[in-house]
Homo-oligomer: A and B are copies of this chain.
Amino acid sequence: MIDLADAIALVERTARPLPARRQRLAAAAGAMLAEDVLADVDSPPWDRAMMDGFAIRSADMAGRGDDAIEFDVVLDLAAGDTTARTVASGACARIMTGAPVPPGADAVIPIESALDGTAGARAGARVRLREPRFRAGQHVGRRGAAFRAGQPVLRAGCRLTPAAIGLAAEAGATHVRVSATPRVAILSTGSELVPVEAIPAHGRTRNSNGPMIASAVERLGAEPIPLGIAVDRAEAIRAAVAQGLAADVLVLSGGVSAGDLDLVPSIFSACGVEQVFHKVRLKPGKPVWFGQFDRGDAAPRTLVFGLPGNPASSLVCFELFVRPALAILAGRPAKQWHLPRVRGVLTGAARSASDRPVYLPCRLVGDAASRGIEPLPWTGSSDLASLAIADGLVVIEAGQRAEPGGEVEAVVFPYGGLPR
């Protein structure tokens, strides 16, 4: 049995980032870029009208203050139109937002500045424009002002937020290299388990760990591969484990504690999985097992977690051990490996003074300035009812007497169960 901090450090040292992968841009939303995105065009790609109006030479308008000035409209340009014709002094082009500013012109007077009913003037007509606050070059997006072809527009490590997706699209990135999406095989062991669709007979219970772990894996941006239920017989578990070892991670629950039907550690060993640790000073979650498997062929090693079968223990171990492993495989920065922690004042009685650190479901009350941590009623490690509405887990350190009013720490789930 090892200390919790040592166990977490072993997970952190064993997990290695998976190779980045090339992904269609539209399918990469939310992912982390593994390399810079370079633009293949300037942006704007040409001098572009930013308003509907009339494209002129700045020299024709500069310094004219309140004067109304008349121009010959020589061109009509909508978005998508182009012209080689030059706008001379005294002339202008009627131009729509998004159209290229024609040669010669370098500023746009908005349509609202046309006087005497000339706002609708087209090529061949005349328009009277007044622009008291005229600035040279106004309302023109200059070619390359945002970025230049060949420049990086997004750096490795950026998240593909909606704006970043738009920017990458503008830069021509149909595909991007992003951090890996770990593939996580999920197996529940136990002869008592039946699928959620079944009505459990006496002695049976539903497989809640499978859907729970799959959902937690998905929340972390990884890909769950549900392997269902294996009964407590060596050949059944061995076959399912062999299948799971083809994934990047195998998360198995059940069969890792002290009983003679806890076959899992010996099956792991028979399958060639190298044990890193078994049993951790932690409550709930003591029987947790962790190892790695060499897939050969230069493939990354498969990380293998044996979580306790009780659902609450299983979830606590997932959050403490599997979460950082998946974050590391996905190439996330160290700050994102673990659940955030807050300190606060314990507002109620919590089971305390164990010889192991205890993680119990809690609600956060008050605000950051005056944080209360309220333990939730809990009937034991198979009870998901309070975990389902918990904001996080209050941590009672080994030997700590957790009295109401005392200061404690909590790890906080990145999602809340109850509406506020």
Query: A residues within 8 Å of B by Cβ?
Result: 25-26, 29-30, 32, 40-41, 43-46, 48, 50-52, 78-82, 96-100, 110-112, 120, 141, 145-147, 153-155, 157-167, 169-170, 172-174, 190-193, 196-197, 199-200, 202-216, 218-219, 231-232, 254, 257-262, 309-312, 315, 318, 333, 335, 368, 379-385, 387-390, 413, 415-420
Q: Could you pull out 30 A-B pairs where Cβ atoms are within 8 angstroms? A: A25-B211, A45-B205, A50-B381, A52-B258, A52-B259, A78-B261, A79-B190, A79-B192, A80-B192, A80-B232, A98-B205, A98-B309, A99-B203, A112-B258, A145-B383, A153-B388, A157-B418, A158-B388, A158-B417, A159-B416, A161-B413, A161-B417, A163-B417, A164-B384, A166-B388, A167-B388, A170-B196, A170-B206, A170-B311, A335-B420
Q: How far apart sit A259 and B94, CA to CA, in the bound complex (Å)?
A: 10
Known: A29-B219, A145-B379, A203-B81. A417 touches B159 (CB 8 A): yes
Contact of A52 among B110, B215, B257, B311 (CB under 8 A): B257
Q: Is the CB of A202 within 8 A of B46?
A: yes
Residues of B within 8 A of A146 (CB): 379, 382-385
Per DSSP, chain A at the interface is loop
Residues of B within 8 A of A211 (CB): 25-26, 165-166, 169
Known: A169-B208, A380-B141. A215 touches B160 (CB 8 A): yes
Q: Is the CB of B205 within 8 A of A163?
A: no
Shortest CB distance A204–B (Å): 7
Q: Which 8 pairs, one residue from A and one from B, show the smallest C-beta to C-beta distance?
A: A166-B212, A80-B191, A52-B259, A162-B216, A82-B203, A163-B387, A79-B192, A164-B388
Q: How far apart sit A311 and B48, CA to CA, in the bound complex (Å)?
A: 14
Known: A146-B379, A202-B82. A215 touches B162 (CB 8 A): yes
Q: How far apart sit A211 and B161, CA to CA, in the bound complex (Å)?
A: 11
Residues of B within 8 A of A416 (CB): 159, 161
